[in-house]
Structure 1
Amino acid sequence: MSHKNKTVVKSMDLLNLFRLNPRMSLNELVELTGSPKTSVHRMAGSLEEMGFLQRDGNGVYELGFVFLEFGQLVAERLDIRRAALPAMRQLRDEVEEAVNLTIRDGDESIYIEKLESTRPVRLYTKIGRRAPLYAGACSRILLAHMPETEAERYLERTELVPIAAGTITDVVQLRSLLAESRRCGYSLSHSELENDTSALAAPIFDYTGRIAGGLSVAGPDSRFRDERLPELSEKVRSAAERISRELGWKRE
């Protein structure tokens, strides 16, 4: 535990007490933690200021409403993963390429699910991987379908740094690609996050019509030749639409 921040660990230990005890006084927290009263009081006060704890008129603590917000975010992410997996499996079996599911997290995309290619030569990614929204098909499809004003603010504040040989670093070219993605319903990338790799992604929408995630197939450049792109784009868009319908989206 030497590599962990002791204050954070103690704070988590205190919060974990509320798993079994929904409401506790300061004295009860002191007794259960075995820590000095002044330390527990200071820690509980800090957690209360940040919204992780709340206290009633009698000084009794309980978990704060911020956990509802975090819980809702986690539930939404799990919902899209659960809705996506059947379509992802079917897509992987049809095209035999790696299939990835991403969602937006601030100015980045994050991979929340993946299925490996069934072919011997594979592109390895991992759940939890992050990428800037401007780079790679599965990130850029999220950026393409963000509200226009929000996307423009992102472009204005973001430096387009090269990551691999094909990373788009010209904002005029990037805007053109975003418009093309909105028009054709998919995004294509070559060597943007890793050299000699390609990806093709389509948007996933929720019941409100807002972008909820991106679905992509990815693999070596050699398997993403022009003659194969019509098949891949059709299958990826179809799978993404099935997932969108699972999330309550309806075509206008």
Structure 2
Amino acid sequence: MQSKNKTVMRSMEILNLFIRHAKLSFNEIVEYSGIPKTSAYRMVQTLEEMDLLDKDTNGHYSLGVLFLRFGHLVSERMDIRQLAMPAMEKLHKELGEAINLIIRDRDEAVYIEKIQSIQPVRLYTMIGRRTPLYAGACARVILSFLPAQEREEYLKRVELIPFAKGTISTIEELRHSISQARNVGYTISYSELEDFTAAIAFPILDYKGDIIAGISIAGIEKDYVGAELERFITLGKQAASDISTKLGYIES
């Protein structure tokens, strides 16, 4: 049994090499894995026979078609709310603020999960609420981390309508906010959807590095300053990273 487990573990070491390499020669597999050549040869042959590896005409290996089938099933069956909830609950326990999970629906962001704040003054954002992608940190984190072409197409057609005293009102201001978000890895807003409220939002990325959701911390504006703000940012980034890792994202 121990021998079989060791073989499985070493086979996984070989497969894990392809997380960072699209194609590898047999010699590269041996070099990067550190597995003796004879053992590696047997394992690679078995993985190829099982459609877990594929060899091209130049003798280079890549992940096989079986991973495409499994990958499709995983993405199809995955519930982002269930996946994100442990990180959301941990964040809520640490901060006591409202924690939101947001996804994109065309030109809007939709709140699909929420944990209510334990603070005396609460925000009453409802699950199912929709906001335009430019308004508020929760929505703008989705916009900020979209591919460049999609962002540009959105910026060309969007009409900026005010919701509160801090709503972004010009395309130049919106571009600046997007650029800043991409530099620091999060979005922040003050009084954009409702006066005297604040939010910080962080991107949730899948295995391709594409944004598929956002997680936000939201509360009363006066609490989102100084050392407390830095604490929110540190813990929020970690929560988003934990969820992204579950989706297969690997930070470069």
TM-score by length of 1: 0.69
CA shift, 1:76, in A, is 5.6
Q: Distance in 1 between matches of 2:188 and 2:147?
A: 20
Structure 2 partner of 1:126: 126
CA shift, 1:78, in A, is 5.9
- Deviations 1:50-109 (CA, angstroms, capped at 9, x unpaired): xxxxxxxxxxxxxxxxxxxxxx9xx76962111100000000111110000000000000
Structure 1 partner of 2:208: 208
Q: Using a 3 Å threshold, how does the CA distance of structure 1 residues 175 and 118 change in structure 2: closer, same or farther?
A: same
Structure 1 partner of 2:39: none
Q: Secondary structure of 1:112's partner?
A: strand
CA shift, 1:227, in A, is 3.1
Q: Distance in 1 between matches of 2:189 and 2:204?
A: 18
Structure 1 partner of 2:250: 250
The answer to whether the 8 Å contact 1:80/1:247 transfers is: no
Q: Using a 3 Å threshold, how does the CA distance of structure 1 residues 76 and 185 change in structure 2: closer, same or farther?
A: farther
Q: Secondary structure of 1:227's partner?
A: helix
The AA in structure 1 aligned to 2:216 is S
Q: Distance in 2 between matches of 1:228 and 1:133?
A: 26
Q: Secondary structure of 1:88's partner?
A: helix
Structure 2 partner of 1:148: 148
Q: Secondary structure of 2:79's partner?
A: helix
- Deviations 1:151-174 (CA, angstroms, capped at 9, x unpaired): 011011001111111000111111
The answer to whether the 8 Å contact 1:204/1:214 transfers is: yes
Report the number of matched residues: 179
Structure 2 partner of 1:169: 169
Q: Distance in 2 between matches of 1:222 and 1:122?
A: 13
RMSD over aligned CA atoms reads 1.5
Structure 2 partner of 1:191: 191
- Deviations 1:8-56 (CA, angstroms, capped at 9, x unpaired): xxxxxxxxxxxxxxxxxxxxxxxxxxxxxxxxxxxxxxxxxxxxxxxxx
Structure 2 residue runs of 5 or longer lacking an equivalent are: 1-71
Q: Using a 3 Å threshold, how does the CA distance of structure 1 residues 121 and 78 change in structure 2: closer, same or farther?
A: farther
Runs of 4+ in 1 over 4 A off after TM superposition: 75-78
TM-score by length of 2: 0.69
In the TM superposition, 1:1-252 aligns within 5 A as 79-252=79-252
CA shift, 1:200, in A, is 0.3
Q: Using a 3 Å threshold, how does the CA distance of structure 1 residues 248 and 113 change in structure 2: closer, same or farther?
A: same
Q: Quick one: percent identity of the two aligned structures?
A: 49
Structure 1 residue runs of 5 or longer lacking an equivalent are: 1-71
- Deviations 1:186-232 (CA, angstroms, capped at 9, x unpaired): 10000101111000000000111100111000011121123321111
Q: Distance in 2 between matches of 1:229 and 1:156?
A: 33
